[in-house]
Amino acid sequence: MHVQEWLETVPAVAVYALVGVVIGLESLGIPLPGEIILVSSALLASQHGEIDPVVLGASATAGAIIGDSIGYAIGRKGGRPLLAWLGNKFPKHFSEGHIATAERSFEKWGMWAVFFGRFVALLRIFAGPLAGVLRMPYWKFAIANVLGGILWAGGTTAVIYYVGIVAESWLKRFSWLGLVAAVLVGLTSMMVIKRKAKKAQQAQQAQPVAVAE
């Protein structure tokens, strides 16, 4: 069953709770489709008056901020052994190449990696735990976490909600175009991320050889 069709069968309170919990767990470091749930719920809110977009956005924002904060605390306490454990549990998401890519983003951008990472699927999972592992000062993390959570969760809800209202009839007629576009964007993003992760992993594996020479 499609996500949106399933959401139509549950009460509005359950939708708010589901969005907050799924986004919170994703932000904590567990690979879950938080963005898909949020987009589907916001689109549903534009079509049905039972779901309040303001409450929905607030639930998503709270889940994002709280989840990232818990992830930071776990990462700070667990350290690098935590990343190794996550790599064993979720090898597709926490591979050495993905971790190396995320670490380079943190080294380059600092607290902004937490902020902008909210908008990137790979960094959205890594941001909290990795910031803790790298012992980023909490005040920097908190500022980036709160601002990023509000802008991503609230902004996504608002944009999808108003687009759904304005283009509801268009979407019904040409929904297959949206599906094709979403698939193409998703595949392109995944290919780019995988390529970067593969290059980072190859560079990491080649580094000891260069030193030995």
Residue 57 pLDDT > 90: yes
pLDDT reading at 61 higher than 90: yes
pLDDT band at 106 (very low <50, low <70, confident <90, very high): confident
Side chain identity, residue 135: R
Determine contact, residues 150/61, Cβ cutoff 8 Å: yes
pLDDT at 205 over 90: no
**What is the arithmetic mean of pLDDT over 155-163?**
86
Looking at 90-174, list the stretches that DSSP marks H as alpha helix, in order from N- to C-terminal side.
96-109, 111-117, 121-133, 138-149, 155-166, 168-173
Is residue 172 within 8 A of residue 104, CB to CB? The reply is no
Residue 153 CA to residue 202 CA, distance in Å, equals 35
Identify which has the larger pLDDT, 192 or 72.
72
* Percent over 90 (pLDDT), the chain: 21
Reported pTM: 0.69
Residue 193 phi, psi (nearest 5): -65, -45
- Binned at pLDDT 50, 70 and 90, residue 181 comes out as low
Q: Which of 28-37, 59-68, 87-96, 113-122 has the lowest mean pLDDT?
A: 87-96
- State the pLDDT at residue 115: 87
